[in-house]
Chains A and B, each alone.
Chain A
Amino acid sequence: MRPKMPKKVLLLGSGGLRIGQAGEFDYSGSQAIKAMKEEGIEIVLMNPNIATVQTDERLADTVYFLPLTIEFATKIIEKERPDAIFLSFGGQTALNLGLSLEEKGILKKYDVAVLGTPVDTIRNTEDRDLFVEKLKEIDVKTAISRGTRNIAQALSAAQEIGYPVMVRAGFALGGEGSGMVADPKELREKLEEVFRNVDQVLIEEYLGGWKEVEYEVVRDRSNNCITVCNMENIDPMGIHTGESIVVAPSQTLSNFEYHMLREVALKTIRHLGIVGECNIQYALDPMSHEYRVIEVNARLSRSSALASKATGYPLAFVAAKLGLGYTLTEIKNSVTGKTSACFEPALDYVVLKMPRWDLAKFEGAATRIGTEMKSVGEVMAIGRNFEEVLQKALRMLNVGAMGFTAQKNATFSIPNYKKEIRFATTRRIFALGEALRSGVTTKEIHALSRIDMWFLDKMKHIIDIEKSLKQKRLDAPRLLEAKRNGFSDAQIAVIKRSTEEKVRALRHKYGIRPWIKQIDTLAGEFPAKTNYLYVTYHGSEHDIGRGVNQVAVLGSGPYCIGSSVEFDWSCVQALKTLKREGSNTIMINSNPETVSTDYDMSDRLYFEELSLERILDITDFENPKGVVISTGGQIPNNLALPLERNGVPVMGTAPENIDRAEDRHVFSKMLDRLEIDQPQWVELTTPLAAKKAAKELGYPVLVRPSYVLSGAAMSVAYDEKALMKFLKRATDVSNDHPVVISKFIENAREIEIDGVASKGKLAIYAITEHVENAGTHSGDATVVLPPQRTYLETIRRAKASAKRIVKELNITGPFNIQFLAKENHILVIECNARASRSFPFVSKVTGYNFIDIAVRALLGKDVHADYHTVEIDTVAVKSPQFSYSRIKGADPIHYVEMASTGEVACFGDSYSEALIKSMMAAGFRLPKKNILVSLGKEENQVKLLPSIRTLSEMGFKLFATEHTADFLLDNKVKCTKVYKMGRKNKPNVSDLLASGDLDLIVNVPERALARNAEDGFALRRKAVDLNIPLITNRQLAESFVSAFHEICTQKIVIKSWDEYRAT
């Protein structure tokens, strides 16, 4: 008997993107919505991530852009009265929220059924002790672990388990005090120190060097259970799977091992009683058949998104159907349209996932990788041998790597390679290349890294091919061999001291072109209906023929700081509009955590590199009538000119005009000619000239390289020494392009125009305003729409400048212009002739889909109409989502270089309401009692005095550090003076932090824009590590206090997106 189909379901999203929880949940949530819509279920979605596809119109019936907290969720349930809830499509955030709703009895009170995996099962997988207990019942092995409370207990536990053992300090932050211990002597020494700080230490079986393998498992309510995919980490145990390079399917497991672990997976998942999708992770001894189950994730995860893209099996869609009561045998395989979904995909290709880190953005951040996740995104390469996928993936990262070897950029040469192999860093893969090139044997590398010899031998094969390419003539067989092993034309050019164009020409002369192959879940056994494609040199025929009437959209590549779901959202909108306007669509992207790479989003999906070579391979074959490069962010944008030079029909703004906006020097000259104001600027020629120019402009100055996203290597220099340091960084990042130095204007506000133009004429625009003053990168700023503090005259002037720029660059399609505003004065600082990250925000707030309009403009349609984007009755605020807790050692202050990993946005009837909600949606908790204030620089103290006084009047207990306290007391604001951490005096900030009583820290550093490592850094870092809400920007602090004073949460009304739009 099938359970009754729910009528109304609440779906919990995952909120802002952060490390460990990225765009994959937009994919899973969107698929869940599709699955439910087919059943005619009314869907209520709660997710403050406005840049997601799942929160689009016409997907869920009702959308709430609200913080994912128990209070807000309860109010939504009270109001909407759903009869069921899905917890497993919004990552750990949704799962935790669901568990607390259940614990607090909310679900029971309002009679809300949990769909899919039951709550008890979830709890059994989340609680370590329960989990071990459950698995013991069926003789499934878990890592042996003993909790100990003193040295004697620990020693006896270690004795029992056998050395070496793993020591884990229970509940210690950041894994402090954890590590491998080889003998009792070492254990005793270590524990003497560790037990001083913690009560409990776990002594565990040491599994370092074991293979790490995972399976994605699907089970239905009738106990049908399958494994959709298995994956093997190249980096063995000890490195978080999110930090590991992963291959699918496993490559070094024998049939026995593969199916032994599969059998354990089915047995475990059945015993736990999961309904839907989950993931099980193993450690497997490379020298025997011993295994340990590490964990089970009873929800859709990053791994399941990867498995879904790697196999073509729509895991999230199927999981949603199973949650609704279907059985696996009732669902069809959507790729073939006729075979059963109750099967296990057979791959006839290899997949490799590579993490994308962005730690260079954070000075001081440790680059060591280990048991904690730090990567911000990932790429997936598909091919037919390991060498091919490894090299493809390294290029897909878009960090400037040519592949595994033959780098152009000096950043990939690692002098101390053995150390970085032994103690893995984010650059380990390049260290491996360096070692192999230097002749270190694979055996020695294996001893250092424990990476399986099979992988190392394949890596060595790449180096061997490089050597033979170097020494011998580039004849057809040698070139084909290189191509089959993943060498790009540009990479071969580096080896042969030639150019990419010449290698390409030679390759075509030899008739060496890649083949287009289809992913069909069944290794060719049945014909596929969908066109999920990859490109390889292993083949002798194409799987498909050339398409007709096609437009290609270039995706955004891996998520990284500055490029996140917003661009995927824009690409998805572009695909939808193109389809609606009658074109067949081609999507090209390399990021498995996206919706744009869903099998049903485009007519043809190429899961491929966003490189000139690969796009030309595809356009040579497909001959599309146009290529959209303006929705995927900076990566496709930078390809515009090279593509056009190769005869590819780039749609919209002419690539040379895109380039005029990108090239800081050319752009600044253009503004001068148009008599549009901009900060005084100078192009860098020599360091000496730069010094001279900076002196003339007057410090502080802004150093800006061209063609970069998210302000990479953009810096504010307050003196000459800093200037020289930043110049070097800027030239490293963007060597071929000029660097511009401009006057940094302090205390200016920043506003942005997002818009669409057609043939040089402005069609639609939206003006947003930053809460923080200029100097905070626009991606890290709190953004308000409609503007609250900007004069109409300023808006008029900004619009006038925008019109002139649009005309001069003859823009067709999306664009974004950033301005500084001081009084009524407007200065243009930047223009991008592409969609910016705020396009989803302005689209959803104004009610006009800017990408839809832009794409129609690209197609030559008339898009001019009477749009109303300034007079809006509600207020929306977008807040940045930071991931500092994951980036140890980084200073959590606002800066000109972007640091946030995602964003959220909320609506309100007033600015205050929207701001409070939005901050809470990004993880901020409202203070209840104790607030610490530490303000550098008198200006900050003076300007924030009214705000602090308000907090005091609201009844908060204030603590302040030395000078701040003196200042406040002088001004008759009651506070307790505490000494800075560096001092021995009491009361001390350290004690206050340790007490756990602080609800909020307001720390505005003296020089908000200079990277400084002083006492303030230690305080901010502690705030992050101890999960205490922190505000470091003066304007944000002011805005927050005034909003907080005006609004208390009880007064916050729960309104859906539709309700805001109806007003």
Chain B
Amino acid sequence: MKLFLEDGSIFEGESFGANAPAAGEVVFTTGMTGYVETLSDPSFAGQIVVGTFPLVGNYGVPSSELFESEKIQAAGLIVSEYSPTYSHHEARGSLADWLKASGVPALTGVDTRALTKKLRDRGVMLGQIAPHLGEFVNPNRENLVAKVSPKEKKVYGSGPIRIIAVDCGMKENIVRSLARPEVTLTRVPWNYDFSHDQYDALVLSNGPGDPEMCEITIKHIREAMRDGKPILGVCLGNQLLALAAGGSTYKLKYGHRGQNQPCIDVTTGRCYITSQNHGFAVDAKSLPSSWEVWFENANDGSVEGIRHTSRSWRSVQFHPEANPGPTDTAWIFDDFLQELAGRRRITIKI
């Protein structure tokens, strides 16, 4: 099996996943741990993931309740060295077995540094893992959110604070972060119309692809804004909130994918290390005057979070729920829940 890129370059490797071809957008992630969480993150739908850390598979794969969704979402995996032997008390099987069972191809023995540098210099590219060159598929042309979003709504808990979470490909750890005894969390499909539901706040999840594909969701968000509901967005949710507010988004050259992105809270100057996985970003200049940049990337200055100057509407581009990655910004969920609790005059244990 080989990796073919749209610029004509070919990377040879040894297959260790499913013996099936795959096409998608090739992206790299610089996280040194967390391949289980990364592969099962729905935001990676349609993407062939290149791990820059050379050793993958070391601690096997745990049982599925520790995944970020029920299955591998990425289209393929490219590594420098797959470790067929693994060791961990939580491991239930090997990474290769998981990939095979999920029908996802993977290559080992690739110069992932050379590949990463190519993606850095030329921007993300379309690619395919296959024995022979076939058709390139641009996943951003299809509505990936519709593909990964659930078909049914699901309710967690029965607390007084009612939150609707729009699942555009939501990582399980967002659910874990919000599901507290005081909360009733209703997880709804991406196109679910919640305007007639009784709820206190809206959460917009992460998800794959181009945010502009989610027109219906944006329309629903605008309705929630009209009703004055507090909103918290994460990753794709950040882009959707910006679009709903009247701003615009653009595609980054090679995105931010990793666990070491420094983000500065512009009001306090405090810097947080964040987990990230996004190819699109909010254009700061496009934001209406009632909105402000909340977080800024310390490396390239891109928008990492926005909020309304008077309303309780906010969102972040990074992943406060971590998994994989640092837990520095978990307080964003806590703050949001505290605020909701305050509105209902209840106390919430953080």
Taking Cβ atoms with an 8 Å cutoff, the residues of A that contact B are: 222-224, 226, 249-256, 258-259, 262-263, 266, 286-288, 327-329, 338-340, 342-350, 384-386, 452-454, 457-458, 461, 515, 517, 522-527, 538-541, 543
With A and B bound together, what is the CA distance between A678 and B92 in angstroms?
Answer: 72
Pair B113/A266 contact, Cβ less than 8 Å = no
With A and B bound together, what is the CA distance between A515 and B117 in angstroms?
Answer: 15
With A and B bound together, what is the CA distance between A223 and B269 in angstroms?
Answer: 10
Q: What chain B residues lie within 8 Å of A461 (beta carbons)?
A: 85
Pair B271/A350 contact, Cβ less than 8 Å = no
Q: What chain B residues lie within 8 Å of A259 (beta carbons)?
A: 33, 322, 324-327
- The answer to whether B62 has its CB under 8 Å from any CB of chain A is yes
Q: Which of A266, A338, A457, A524 contacts B52 (CB 8 A)?
A: A524
Given contacts A342-B298, A539-B113, contact A347 B32 (CB under 8 A): yes
Given contacts A251-B58, A263-B327, A538-B81, contact A343 B262 (CB under 8 A): yes
Q: Which 9 pairs across A and B sit closest by C-beta, in order of nearness?
A: A255-B34, A457-B85, A340-B298, A523-B52, A346-B30, A454-B87, A524-B116, A540-B111, A453-B87
Pair A327/B53 contact, Cβ less than 8 Å = no
Closest approach, in angstroms, between the C-beta of B311 and any C-beta of chain A? 28
**Interface CB pairs A-B, < 8 A, 5:** A255-B37, A256-B66, A259-B324, A344-B260, A538-B109
Q: How many residues of B contact A (CB 8 A)?
A: 53
With A and B bound together, what is the CA distance between A347 and B53 in angstroms?
Answer: 6
Pair B111/A346 contact, Cβ less than 8 Å = no
Pair B33/A258 contact, Cβ less than 8 Å = yes
Q: What chain B residues lie within 8 Å of A539 (beta carbons)?
A: 111, 113-114
Given contacts A254-B33, A525-B30, contact A328 B271 (CB under 8 A): yes
Q: What chain B residues lie within 8 Å of A517 (beta carbons)?
A: 113
Q: A252-B87, A348-B113 are in contact. List 14 more A-B contacts (CB 8 A).
A: A250-B33, A253-B59, A258-B33, A259-B33, A287-B89, A340-B262, A342-B271, A343-B298, A347-B32, A348-B112, A384-B80, A454-B58, A454-B85, A539-B111
Pair A348/B299 contact, Cβ less than 8 Å = no
Pair B54/A385 contact, Cβ less than 8 Å = yes
Q: What chain A residues lie within 8 Å of B112 (beta carbons)?
A: 348
Q: What chain B residues lie within 8 Å of A385 (beta carbons)?
A: 54-55, 80-81
Please give me the residue from chain A that is nearest to B91 by CB atom. Answer: A254
Please give me the residue from chain A that is nearest to B12 by CB atom. Answer: A540
For the residues of A in contact with B, the DSSP-based class is loop
Q: What chain A residues lie within 8 Å of B325 (beta carbons)?
A: 255, 259
Pair B298/A251 contact, Cβ less than 8 Å = no
Please give me the residue from chain B that is nearest to A518 by CB atom. Answer: B113
Pair B261/A343 contact, Cβ less than 8 Å = yes
Q: What chain A residues lie within 8 Å of B113 (beta carbons)?
A: 348, 517, 523-524, 539, 543
Pair B53/A346 contact, Cβ less than 8 Å = yes
With A and B bound together, what is the CA distance between A539 and B109 in angstroms?
Answer: 8
With A and B bound together, what is the CA distance between A525 and B85 in angstroms?
Answer: 29
Q: What chain A residues lie within 8 Å of B36 (beta carbons)?
A: 254-255
Q: What chain B residues lie within 8 Å of A541 (beta carbons)?
A: 111, 114
Closest approach, in angstroms, between the C-beta of B258 and any C-beta of chain A? 6
With A and B bound together, what is the CA distance between A541 and B121 in angstroms?
Answer: 15
Pair A384/B81 contact, Cβ less than 8 Å = yes
- The answer to whether B31 has its CB under 8 Å from any CB of chain A is yes
Pair A349/B327 contact, Cβ less than 8 Å = no
Please give me the residue from chain B that is nearest to A515 by CB atom. Answer: B111
Residues B57-79 near A (CB distance < 8 A): 58-59, 62, 66
- The answer to whether B323 has its CB under 8 Å from any CB of chain A is yes
Please give me the residue from chain A that is nearest to B88 by CB atom. Answer: A254
Please give me the residue from chain B that is nearest to A539 by CB atom. Answer: B111
Residues B307-339 near A (CB distance < 8 A): 322-328
With A and B bound together, what is the CA distance between A525 and B252 in angstroms?
Answer: 13
Closest approach, in angstroms, between the C-beta of A482 and any C-beta of chain B? 15
With A and B bound together, what is the CA distance between A856 and B281 in angstroms?
Answer: 55
Q: What chain B residues lie within 8 Å of A346 (beta carbons)?
A: 30-32, 52-53, 258-260
Please give me the residue from chain A that is nearest to B121 by CB atom. Answer: A527
Pair A254/B54 contact, Cβ less than 8 Å = no
With A and B bound together, what is the CA distance between A344 and B260 in angstroms?
Answer: 5
Pair B80/A538 contact, Cβ less than 8 Å = yes
Q: What chain A residues lie within 8 Å of B250 (beta carbons)?
A: none
- The answer to whether B270 has its CB under 8 Å from any CB of chain A is yes
With A and B bound together, what is the CA distance between A253 and B86 in angstroms?
Answer: 11
Q: Which of B32, B86, B90, B264 contacts A329 (CB 8 A)?
A: B264
Closest approach, in angstroms, between the C-beta of A455 and any C-beta of chain B? 8
Q: What chain B residues lie within 8 Å of A223 (beta carbons)?
A: 270
Pair B87/A329 contact, Cβ less than 8 Å = no
- The answer to whether B83 has its CB under 8 Å from any CB of chain A is yes
Residues B191-220 near A (CB distance < 8 A): none
With A and B bound together, what is the CA distance between A881 and B55 in angstroms?
Answer: 42
Q: What chain A residues lie within 8 Å of B122 (beta carbons)?
A: none
B 29-54 to A, binary, CB cutoff 8 A, 1 in contact else 0? 01111101100000000000000111
Pair A538/B54 contact, Cβ less than 8 Å = yes
Q: Which of A328, A350, A453 contacts B55 (CB 8 A)?
A: A350
Pair A255/B324 contact, Cβ less than 8 Å = yes
With A and B bound together, what is the CA distance between A58 and B41 in angstroms?
Answer: 54
Pair B88/A252 contact, Cβ less than 8 Å = yes
Q: What chain B residues lie within 8 Å of A538 (beta carbons)?
A: 54, 80-81, 109, 111
Q: What chain A residues lie within 8 Å of B66 (beta carbons)?
A: 256
Given contacts A385-B81, A454-B58, contact A348 B52 (CB under 8 A): yes
Closest approach, in angstroms, between the C-beta of B11 and any C-beta of chain A? 8
Closest approach, in angstroms, between the C-beta of A444 and any C-beta of chain B? 15
Pair A384/B54 contact, Cβ less than 8 Å = yes
Q: What chain A residues lie within 8 Å of B261 (beta carbons)?
A: 343
Q: What chain A residues lie within 8 Å of B299 (beta carbons)?
A: 338-340, 343, 526
- The answer to whether B120 has its CB under 8 Å from any CB of chain A is yes
Q: What chain A residues lie within 8 Å of B164 (beta carbons)?
A: none
Please give me the residue from chain B that is nearest to A266 by CB atom. Answer: B328
Pair B269/A327 contact, Cβ less than 8 Å = yes
Q: What chain A residues lie within 8 Å of B33 (beta carbons)?
A: 249-250, 253-255, 258-259
Pair B81/A452 contact, Cβ less than 8 Å = no
With A and B bound together, what is the CA distance between A755 and B185 in angstroms?
Answer: 80
Pair A348/B54 contact, Cβ less than 8 Å = yes
Closest approach, in angstroms, between the C-beta of A592 and any C-beta of chain B? 19
Q: Which of A266, A342, A523 contacts B258 (CB 8 A)?
A: A523
With A and B bound together, what is the CA distance between A515 and B37 in angstroms?
Answer: 31
Q: Which of A254, A347, A525 contacts B90 (CB 8 A)?
A: A254
Pair B298/A329 contact, Cβ less than 8 Å = yes
With A and B bound together, what is the CA distance between A543 and B117 in angstroms?
Answer: 9
- The answer to whether B232 has its CB under 8 Å from any CB of chain A is no
Please give me the residue from chain B that is nearest to A349 by CB atom. Answer: B54
Q: What chain B residues lie within 8 Å of A386 (beta carbons)?
A: 55
Pair B273/A226 contact, Cβ less than 8 Å = yes
With A and B bound together, what is the CA distance between A340 and B113 in angstroms?
Answer: 22
Given contacts A222-B270, A287-B89, A517-B113, contact A523 B53 (CB under 8 A): yes
Q: What chain A residues lie within 8 Å of B109 (beta carbons)?
A: 538
Closest approach, in angstroms, between the C-beta of B275 and any C-beta of chain A? 9
With A and B bound together, what is the CA distance between A223 and B328 in angstroms?
Answer: 12
With A and B bound together, what is the CA distance between A457 and B83 in angstroms?
Answer: 10
| Max chain A Cβ within 10 angstroms of own Cβ: one of B112, B260, B271, B273 | B271
Closest approach, in angstroms, between the C-beta of A638 and any C-beta of chain B? 33
Q: Which of B58, B114, B116 contacts A252 (CB 8 A)?
A: B58
Q: What chain B residues lie within 8 Å of A286 (beta carbons)?
A: 89
Pair B259/A344 contact, Cβ less than 8 Å = yes
| Max chain B Cβ within 10 angstroms of own Cβ: one of A255, A346, A461, A515 | A255
Q: Which of A328, A348, A522 contacts B53 (CB 8 A)?
A: A348
Q: Which of A226, A262, A457, A523 contacts B87 (CB 8 A)?
A: A457
With A and B bound together, what is the CA distance between A989 and B10 in angstroms?
Answer: 79
Please give me the residue from chain B that is nearest to A343 by CB atom. Answer: B262
Q: What chain A residues lie within 8 Å of B260 (beta carbons)?
A: 343-346, 522
